[in-house]
Amino acid sequence: MGQVVAQPVDPERVAHARERLLSRDDAARLSSILSLLADPTRTRVIYALDLAEELCVGDIALTLDLGEDAVGYALRILRTAGMVTRRKEGRTVYYRLADGFPEPLRAHCLRRLIEISDGSDAADDDD
């Protein structure tokens, strides 16, 4: 038996979506970034660095009320992913968001999604 090809209900919208759809590679990269943000500690570290521009591990730990080991582990993962960079001044290592850290991710994902998730944003429709 041959494969039956389904016909779309709305061919124009299907064509529109297909033209703009993420490639599989882009979707994989996006999923990777979002999985990094799925961890609350890593998200809070990124948020703190966005607010303070640069902090050492101890100061991040104090800011987030976490242990230095947990912060260090989160920073290691974020640094490996290229989301944060570090610089050394004497014996102190300072971390900051990487120069290429996408501003839309900071502005929309970190700030706007917090607003939406806490219910301070009105629903667009009542579906």
Q: Can you list the domains of the chain with their CATH numbers?
A: 41-121 (1.10.10.10)
Instruction: Give the pair of three-digit tokens for residue 54.
Output: 């640069």
pLDDT for res 91 = 96
pLDDT for res 52 = 93
pLDDT for res 33 = 80
pLDDT for res 125 = 46
pLDDT for res 90 = 96
pLDDT for res 110 = 65
Sorted by sequence, the CB contacts under 8 Å of residue 57 that are 6+ apart come out as: 68, 71, 72, 75, 93, 95
**pTM tops 0.85:** no
Going by C-alpha positions, the residue among 64, 60, 105 that lies closest to residue 82 is: 105
Mean pLDDT by 10 residues, the chain (127 residues): 76 90 84 85 91 95 97 96 94 93 67 66 48
DSSP string, 89-125: ETTEEEEEE-TT--HHIIIIIIIIHHHHHTT-SPPS-
